[in-house]
């Protein structure tokens, strides 16, 4: 009987400590994820260093982990690594920051053959935006710099990107994200504003 009590007490101790460890690791995960979100800033100057294919693959995995309306995943990505092409795109579209030492640019596209038909078609923009934010956060977590640069709905930019990359008609570029080793460290912007929060009704 005494032996049984000792065994049960030991088991309870082990269970308690496992619970505590789980709680600690959950807290740590929360802290790391929130800090990554809150310290991301747009990086527009890069050192010109190349990045590993492994990094490119991780960023694409992060992008494709995004949610999408009825899980259509109506996205497609063009990864631009060719330096001459990056320079040409940067010169033609200075807003896209492709010629500031970026190692690579991800052209984040919507695939209209996968987008929902009818009045829900516009959800492709939300879906590709979610993929873009995932990519930005993953780049930041990996110590890389990146910036979201807008293409759609500026139709002259859409046309330029379609021409540069020989995109088929059903592929619409939403934005371009140059990525590289950061050559600047802009201050983090605190955008929290309690005044724009409304509970239940406006
Ligand atoms: C839809 C969209 C379009 C943007 N277009 C550009 C752009 O063309 N060029 C650029 O340098 N930054 C662009 N940005 C980045 C914003 O300027 C930047 O996110 C904003 O100033 C806030 O700064 P932060 O990203 O450092 O928090 C764009 C961001 C979004 C979401």
* Residue 21 confidence (pLDDT): 77
Rounded to 10 deg, the angle between the 123-141 and 53-64 helix axes is: 140
Q: Whose CA is nearest to atom 21 of ligand 1?
A: 42
Ligand 1: distance of its center to the CA of 97 in Å? Answer: 11
Ligand 1 binding site (Cβ under 6 Å of any ligand atom): 41-42, 44, 95, 97, 147-150, 189
**Pocket of ligand 1, candidates 40, 105, 150: which has the most ligand atoms within 8 Å of its Cβ, to mutate?**
150
Label residue 16 by pLDDT band (50, 70, 90).
Answer: low
CATH architecture of 53-180: 3-Layer(aba) Sandwich (3.40)
Give the DSSP letter string of the chain. -HHHHHHHHHHHHHHHHHHHHHHHHHHHHHHHHHHHHHH------B------HHHHHHHHHHHHTS--GGG---EEEEEE--HHHHHHHHHH-GGG-TTSS-SEEEEEEEETTTSPSGGGTTHHHHHHHHHHHHHHHHHHHTT-EE--EE-TT-HHHHHHHHHHHT--TTEEEEEEEEEE-BS--PPPP----GGG--SS--
Percent of the chain with pLDDT over 90: 87
Check whether 2 has a pLDDT greater than 90. Answer: no
- Sign (positive/negative) of CA torsion 52, 54, 56, 58? negative
Ligand 1 atom closest to 44 (CA): 11
Please state which of the ranges 24-28, 60-64, 98-102, 183-187 shows the lowest mean pLDDT. 24-28
pLDDT level of residue 1 (50, 70, 90 thresholds): low
Predicted local distance difference test score (pLDDT) of residue 189: 95
Q: Which of 42, 136, 153 to mutate to test the pocket of ligand 1 (most atoms within 8 A of CB)?
A: 42
Q: Mind listing the pLDDT tens digit for each residue in 56-84?
A: 999 999 999 999 999 999 999 999 999 99
* Tokens of residue 53, six digits: 């294919």
């Amino acid at each position: 009987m005494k032996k049984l009590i000792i065994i049960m007490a030991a088991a309870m101790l082990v269970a308690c400590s496992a619970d505590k460890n789980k709680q600690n690791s959950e807290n740590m995960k929360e802290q790391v994820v929130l800090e990554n979100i809150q310290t991301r800033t747009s990086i527009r100057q890069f050192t010109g260093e190349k990045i590993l294919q492994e990094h490119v693959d991780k960023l694409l995995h992060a992008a494709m982990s995004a949610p999408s309306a009825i899980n259509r995943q109506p996205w497609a990505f063009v990864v631009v690594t060719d330096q001459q092409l990056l320079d040409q795109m940067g010169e033609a579209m200075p807003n896209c920051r492709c010629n500031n030492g970026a190692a690579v640019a991800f052209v984040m596209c919507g695939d209209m053959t996968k987008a929902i038909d009818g009045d829900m078609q516009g959800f492709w923009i939300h879906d590709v935006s979610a993929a873009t934010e995932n990519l930005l956060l993953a780049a930041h977590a990996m110590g890389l710099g990146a910036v979201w640069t807008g293409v759609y709905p500026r139709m002259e930019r859409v046309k330029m990107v379609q021409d540069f990359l020989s995109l088929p008609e059903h592929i619409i570029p939403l934005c371009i994200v140059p990525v590289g080793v950061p050559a600047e460290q802009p201050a983090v912007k605190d955008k929290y504003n309690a005044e724009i929060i409304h509970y239940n009704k406006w």
